[in-house]
C-alpha cells in the first residue's frame, strides 16, 4: 500500500483555490437545501434511518451467509460469480472476461469501487479502453482528472472549464451551457453504447434472496451499460449485499433523498443474472474484498461498511466544504472517506485522515444509515496513536499534556505559565505557533485560577 498524502498538506491546495471554494460552497449549499426539503416532508424519516442501520448491522453480522445465498441466487439465474481478494484479482477477472470476448472498448457506468481498484488503468495496460459514460466521469476522464465528490465527481469544475475541455476534445463548436454540454455528451456516447460488446457497472445493492443487482442513477447511462452490451460485468464490494427483497423498500427511500435530494432518482435498474430476450446474454458478478474484511474485523470501525455512498456527509461537513474532495487523497472524500480510507489502506498509510474533522457531528445527523462517524474518527485517532503514526504535532502536544496532568505541581505551574503566556498572544501570530493561532481565538485571561481562588477562600 502506498501512503496517502498528509491531509493538512493536501488541503492547502484546495483552500488556496478561490474558484474551487466558490464551486464547493454553491453546490453543497444547493444539495443541502434540496435534501432538507425532501427529508422534512418524510414523516417517518427517523424510522427509515433506524431500519437502514439495523438491516446493515444485521447483514454484516452474518455477511458470509448472505454472500453464499447471493452467489447461489445469481448462479441459478444464469450469472457467474467471481471472488476477488484484492484489486489485482478483481481487475484481472474483468480483464480476462473482456479478452475472452475480444472486447477492446468497454462502456462503464460510474462505480466508486472500480475507481478504488484502479480498474481503468489496469485495463488500459492490457489494451482495453474503458469509456466512462457518466457525464461527470467523462469530464474527468477526458481531462485526466479524478473525482472530488461521490455524487458530483466534477464538482470542482465550473461550466466554463468544462466547455473549454469539450471544445478541446469532442466538439469545437459547443458553448458553456450545461444543456448544450449534456447534448454533446449524449451524441458522443450514444455511438459507443450501441456498439459496445461489454459493459461494466458497480452496484448500489445486491439482494441475496433474489440475486438482484441494483444500479441507482440519473442520466440513463447506467441503463445503457447494463442493458445494451451482450456481456455485463458488475463489480461490487462484499458489503453491498442486503438479505431480503423487501429491504429495498427502506434503501430506495433513504438513498435518493440523501444523495441528490430527490424523492426518487430518475432511473433505477434491477436485474438477476440473465434472461432470454432481455438485456445481456452473459452476466458476471465480481465480489471484492480489497480490505473490507479488515474493516469488518474492527468492532467500532466496521460501522463504515454500512455506507450506501449517498454523499450527504460531504455536503454538511464544514471541513469538506472548504478543502474539497482531493485533500482526502482517495476516491472516498469527506467524513466517510476519513473513516473508510484509513481502514481500507491501513492506518499507517493514512494517519492524518482521522484528524480531518472538527468532530462537530453534522455527518452523523445526515447519515441515512446512522453511521456514527465522529465515534469512528475518535476510535481511529486512538489506533493512530497506538500505532505511533499520529501527526507529530498531536504527539508532542499529547505527551506534554500527559506529563503535565501527571503531577499536581506540574499542573499548577503550567497554569501559571499559561496565564503568563496568554499575555504573549500577539507574539503567537509570528512565532512557531502562527499556523495554529491563525485559525483560532484564545480564551480571554481570567483574573485568577480556580485553584488560586480555592486556596485564598
- Phi, psi for residue 67 in degrees, rounded to 5: -65, -35
Query: What length is written for the chain?
Result: 457
The answer to whether 84 and 289 have CB atoms below 8 angstroms apart is yes
Using CB under 8 A as the binding rule, whether residue 282 contacts another protein is answered as no
Kindly state the cell numbers that stand for 13: 491546495
Using CB under 8 A as the binding rule, whether residue 417 contacts another protein is answered as no
Residue of 333, 367, 366, 369 whose CA lies nearest to 150: 333
**The one among 271, 320, 332, 364 contacting another protein by CB under 8 A:** 271
**The one among 12, 58, 72, 429 contacting another protein by CB under 8 A:** 58
H or E stretch including 105?
Answer: strand 105-108
**The one among 63, 142, 174, 360 contacting another protein by CB under 8 A:** 63
Nearest distance in Å: CB 305, another protein: 10
Using CB under 8 A as the binding rule, whether residue 146 contacts another protein is answered as no
**The one among 185, 241, 316, 336 contacting another protein by CB under 8 A:** 185
Site for another protein in 68-87 (CB under 8 A): 68, 77, 82-85
Q: Which is nearer to another protein, 4 or 198 (CB)?
A: 198
Using CB under 8 A as the binding rule, whether residue 221 contacts another protein is answered as yes
Place of cell 485568577: 448
Using CB under 8 A as the binding rule, whether residue 369 contacts another protein is answered as no
Using CB under 8 A as the binding rule, whether residue 278 contacts another protein is answered as yes
Burial state string for 310-345 with b = 16 or more CB within 10 A and e = fewer than 16: bbbbbbbbebbbebbbbbbbbbbbbbbbbbbbbbbb
Residue of 89, 118, 101, 66 whose CA lies nearest to 286: 89
Going from the C-alpha of 10 to that of each of 14, 96, 330, 360, 374, the distances in angstroms are 8, 36, 11, 21, 22
Nearest distance in Å: CB 186, another protein: 6
Site for another protein in 4-23 (CB under 8 A): 23
**The one among 4, 10, 20, 31 contacting another protein by CB under 8 A:** 31
Nearest distance in Å: CB 253, another protein: 5
Using CB under 8 A as the binding rule, whether residue 306 contacts another protein is answered as no
Measured between alpha carbons, how far is 268 from 264 in angstroms, rounded to an integer?
9
**The one among 69, 189, 347, 376 contacting another protein by CB under 8 A:** 189
Using CB under 8 A as the binding rule, whether residue 162 contacts another protein is answered as yes
Amino acid at each position: 500500500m502506498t501512503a496517502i498524502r498528509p491531509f493538512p498538506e493536501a488541503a492547502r491546495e484546495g483552500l488556496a483555490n478561490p474558484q474551487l471554494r466558490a464551486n464547493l460552497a454553491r453546490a453543497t449549499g444547493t444539495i443541502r437545501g434540496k435534501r432538507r426539503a425532501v427529508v422534512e416532508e418524510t414523516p417517518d424519516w427517523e424510522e427509515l434511518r433506524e431500519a437502514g442501520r439495523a438491516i446493515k448491522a444485521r447483514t454484516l453480522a452474518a455477511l458470509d451467509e448472505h454472500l453464499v445465498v447471493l452467489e447461489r441466487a445469481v448462479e441459478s439465474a444464469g450469472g457467474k460469480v467471481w471472488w476477488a481478494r484484492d484489486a489485482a484479482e478483481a481487475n484481472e477477472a474483468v480483464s480476462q472476461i473482456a479478452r475472452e470476448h475480444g472486447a477492446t472498448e468497454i462502456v462503464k457506468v460510474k462505480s466508486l469501487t472500480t475507481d478504488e481498484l484502479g480498474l481503468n488503468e489496469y485495463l488500459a495496460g492490457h489494451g482495453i479502453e474503458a469509456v466512462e459514460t457518466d457525464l461527470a466521469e467523462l469530464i474527468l476522464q477526458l481531462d485526466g482528472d479524478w473525482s472530488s465528490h461521490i455524487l458530483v465527481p466534477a464538482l470542482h469544475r465550473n461550466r466554463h472549464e468544462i466547455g473549454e475541455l469539450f471544445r478541446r476534445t469532442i466538439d469545437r463548436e459547443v458553448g458553456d451551457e450545461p444543456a448544450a454540454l449534456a447534448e454533446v455528451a449524449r451524441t458522443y456516447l450514444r455511438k459507443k453504447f450501441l456498439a459496445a460488446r461489454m459493459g461494466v457497472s458497480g452496484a448500489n445493492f445486491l439482494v441475496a434472496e433474489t440475486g438482484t443487482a441494483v444500479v441507482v442513477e440519473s442520466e440513463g447511462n447506467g441503463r445503457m451499460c447494463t442493458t445494451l452490451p451482450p456481456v455485463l460485468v458488475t463489480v461490487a464490494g462484499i458489503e453491498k449485499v442486503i438479505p431480503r427483497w423487501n429491504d429495498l423498500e427502506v434503501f430506495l427511500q433513504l438513498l435518493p433523498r440523501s444523495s441528490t435530494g430527490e424523492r426518487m432518482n430518475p432511473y433505477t435498474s434491477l436485474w438477476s443474472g440473465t434472461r432470454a430476450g432481455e438485456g445481456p446474454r452473459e452476466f458476471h458478478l465480481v465480489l471484492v474484498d480489497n480490505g473490507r474484511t479488515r474493516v469488518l474485523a474492527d468492532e467500532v470501525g466496521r460501522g463504515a461498511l454500512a455506507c450506501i455512498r449517498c454523499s450527504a456527509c460531504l455536503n454538511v461537513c464544514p471541513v469538506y466544504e472548504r478543502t474539497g474532495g482531493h485533500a482526502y487523497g482517495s476516491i472516498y472524500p469527506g467524513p466517510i472517506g476519513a473513516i473508510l480510507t484509513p481502514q481500507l489502506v491501513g492506518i499507517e498509510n493514512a494517519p492524518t485522515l482521522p484528524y480531518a474533522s472538527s468532530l462537530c457531528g453534522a455527518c452523523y445527523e445526515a447519515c441515512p444509515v446512522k453511521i456514527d462517524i465522529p465515534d469512528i474518527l475518535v476510535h481511529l485517532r486512538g489506533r493512530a496513536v497506538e500505532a505511533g503514526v499520529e501527526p507529530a504535532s498531536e504527539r508532542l502536544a499529547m505527551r506534554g499534556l500527559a506529563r503535565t496532568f501527571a503531577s499536581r505541581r506540574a499542573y499548577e505551574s503550567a497554569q501559571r505559565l499559561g496565564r503568563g503566556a496568554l499575555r504573549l498572544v500577539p507574539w503567537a501570530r509570528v512565532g512557531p505557533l502562527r499556523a495554529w493561532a491563525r485559525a483560532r481565538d484564545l480564551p480571554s485571561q481570567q483574573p485568577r485560577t480556580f485553584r488560586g481562588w480555592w486556596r485564598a477562600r
